[in-house]
Structure 1
Amino acid sequence: MRTKWLFNLQLAFTLLVCAFLIVPVILSIMAGLTVNYLVGIESGLTLRWVMEVWNGYRNTIFLSIGISLACLVVTLLIGIPTAYVLARRQSALSRAIEELLVMPVAVPGLATALALIVTYGSLSGFRTSWGFILVGHVLFTLPFMVRSVLAVLMAIDLNTLEEGAASLGASWWRRFRDIVLPNCRAGILAGSLMVVTLSMGEFNMTWLLHTPFTKTLPVGLADAYASLRLEIGSAYTLVFFLMIMPLLLALQAFAQPRLKKFVAEDNAQ
């Protein structure tokens, strides 16, 4: 009886926390779908505000998608080899480099943006291009790619696998392509989803790095709310929600099979 009462109390607390977090999002989205948010759903539903967001801010959506995909490509090209080297060269220096890679995450995004502006702000062509924002996003998301891949590589006996392949005459590139990449595929996928999701929603750094011609989706969202048009801002929130949720669900779906695999291995042992 006491156990059931305790379970009900914990369930009620969990539902209360979920409601506290989710209800404001739902109300914000509904404001973007109603004719008059002051009246509420009784005023009727409409897609007018969503269409206004699409007509006025679709460039920010396409730019965010492009920057996120470009950020993914760069972090893959840099992050996977970096994780491989760190996994092969376990030393005090490699651990120090691993910690330094986390600095852009620990340092506030505004500070990183100011550092980039001070360093590269004089390059006018670069400063006003979307590539300037891409550099900031790569600095912010690269640690997540490296950590994801490194965690998988550290969980396997990489040296033994490579030595076995080398003894059979495999070159370095073939060992990297046929042994390293397949074994760290799970980390690459997890890191890729995190990079795209974080790049899509990054605001603090982008707020200082953007120009009127390089507004990303979160910056456009802030502008929509700053214009005091709550319907537009709420509809923009809905668009952002529809773009980011599939990535979050994919990340969750990917993590679930790995969790079941680890549980099965523990039970077998």
Structure 2
Amino acid sequence: MQHGRFLYGLQFAFTIAVCAFLVVPVVMSILAGLTVNYFVGLESGLTLRWVLEVWDGYRDTLFLSLGLALACLVLTLLLGVPLAYLLARSRGRLARAIEELLMLPVAVPGLATALGLIVAYGGLAGFRTSAAFILVGHVLFTLPFMVRSVLAVLSVIDLPTLEEGAASLGAGFAQRFRDIVLPNCRNGILAGALMVVTLSMGEFNMTWLLHTPFTKTLPVGLADAYASLRLEIGSAYTLIFFLLITPLLLALQALARPRRTVFAERDPSAENDS
């Protein structure tokens, strides 16, 4: 009994240590954006000056990053969910080859993918200087995560039997996809959406090469702030990033929670009357 408690305490202490190792640098960075003097620390006092300065000078990058993340989520849903469904229904070698090819943008460095996009589409001046050019790169990078998340859920259910049962009751393809496929892969869709939004908001390597002075995203602006040694500005930038991304993550996690099924209690008097 005591041995079990000791192991539990050891595991709990190890978990706290790992969490502290990950969280403490983030907390220190956020506090740096709220202090009057970064080098003095909290003794110099707290202020919102740096946060307001970031908001006045960089709010366009914040809204651009948020818009790109949401647009990337919509496109990966429209492309990734049907593609995962097709891969789940097809068990051949071609489907497996396509599934592996989808992972190439993740395996290849982001700079190499961005360079390929510039070589292929850099001649389209209007497209090259627009935010849509960055969006294409984000979709290429995040689409595999959506496909894999949905495919993992669809692979563990007997999808053909469910669809055959629905078809025998007269349901067409559109109705089967809406009422059978989508509800069963709901958790996979939400897990993929969580990864797509976070990866798009924080993507830097590819975006750094694809962006222009008029399409600067939040991570690129954050790198510029730190590169110019404006540590308070960069830390305040980090704080605003967390204020933007945290509500999205909490909302997606709330949607991903399994729904409770409520069963109505039978009325014995109604059964006797019948």
Do both share a fold (TM > 0.5)? yes
Q: What amino acid sits opposite 1:227 in the alignment?
A: S
Q: What amino acid sits opposite 2:149 in the alignment?
A: S
- Quote the residue 2:93 is aligned against: 92
Query: 1:253 deviation in Å?
Result: 4.8
Q: 2: CA distance between counterparts of 1:16 and 1:100?
A: 39
Q: 1: CA distance between counterparts of 2:154 and 2:115?
A: 35
- Quote the residue 2:271 is aligned against: none
Query: Which stretch of structure 1 is more off in the superposition, 56-65 or 236-245?
Result: 236-245
- Quote the residue 1:72 is aligned against: 73
- Quote the residue 1:58 is aligned against: 59
Q: What amino acid sits opposite 1:30 in the alignment?
A: L
Q: What amino acid sits opposite 1:193 in the alignment?
A: L
Query: 1:107 deviation in Å?
Result: 1.2
C-alpha distance after superposition, 1:231-255 (max 9, x if no partner): 1000001011122223344455556
Q: What amino acid sits opposite 2:107 in the alignment?
A: A
- Quote the residue 1:22 is aligned against: 23
Q: 2: CA distance between counterparts of 1:56 and 1:13?
A: 42
Query: Which stretch of structure 1 is more off in the superposition, 239-248 or 43-52?
Result: 239-248
Query: Which stretch of structure 1 is more off in the superposition, 122-131 or 173-182?
Result: 173-182
How high is the sequence identity, in percent, across the aligned residues?
A: 78
Conserved? CA contact 1:144–1:191, under 8 Å: yes
Q: What amino acid sits opposite 1:29 in the alignment?
A: I
Query: 1:8 deviation in Å?
Result: 3.6
Conserved? CA contact 1:190–1:254, under 8 Å: no
Query: Structure 1 residues 174 and 255 mapped into 2: Cα distance closer, same or farther (>3 Å)?
Result: closer
Mapping of residues 224-235 of structure 1, within 5 Å = 224-235=225-236
Q: 1: CA distance between counterparts of 2:247 and 2:73?
A: 17
Conserved? CA contact 2:61–2:215, under 8 Å: yes
Conserved? CA contact 2:190–2:256, under 8 Å: no
Query: Which stretch of structure 1 is more off in the superposition, 50-59 or 109-118?
Result: 109-118
Query: Structure 1 residues 40 and 94 mapped into 2: Cα distance closer, same or farther (>3 Å)?
Result: same
Q: What amino acid sits opposite 1:172 in the alignment?
A: F
Query: Which stretch of structure 1 is more off in the superposition, 164-173 or 60-69?
Result: 164-173
Looking at CA atoms only, which structure, 1 or 2, has the larger radius of gyration? 2
Q: What amino acid sits opposite 1:231 in the alignment?
A: E
Q: 2: CA distance between counterparts of 1:10 and 1:180?
A: 40
- Quote the residue 2:264 is aligned against: none
Q: Give unpaired runs (5+ residues) of structure 2.
A: 262-274
Q: 2: CA distance between counterparts of 1:21 and 1:166?
A: 50
Q: Which has the higher helix share?
A: 1
Q: What is the SS of the residue equivalent to 2:187?
A: helix
Q: What is the SS of the residue equivalent to 2:164?
A: helix
Query: 1:165 deviation in Å?
Result: 2.1
Query: Which stretch of structure 1 is more off in the superposition, 11-20 or 63-72?
Result: 11-20
Mapping of residues 111-190 of structure 1, within 5 Å = 111-190=112-191
The answer on 1:244 being equivalent to 2:209 is no
Query: Which stretch of structure 1 is more off in the superposition, 243-252 or 133-142?
Result: 243-252
- Quote the residue 2:270 is aligned against: none
Q: 1: CA distance between counterparts of 2:117 and 2:12?
A: 47
Q: Give unpaired runs (5+ residues) of structure 1.
A: 262-269
Query: 1:132 deviation in Å?
Result: 0.5
Q: How high is the TM-score relative to the length of structure 1?
A: 0.90
Q: 1: CA distance between counterparts of 2:165 and 2:20?
A: 54
- Quote the residue 1:267 is aligned against: none
Q: What is the SS of the residue equivalent to 1:36?
A: coil
Conserved? CA contact 1:86–1:98, under 8 Å: yes
Q: 1: CA distance between counterparts of 2:158 and 2:253?
A: 27
Aligned residues: 260
C-alpha distance after superposition, 1:84-106 (max 9, x if no partner): 11111111111111111111111
The answer on 1:43 being equivalent to 2:44 is yes
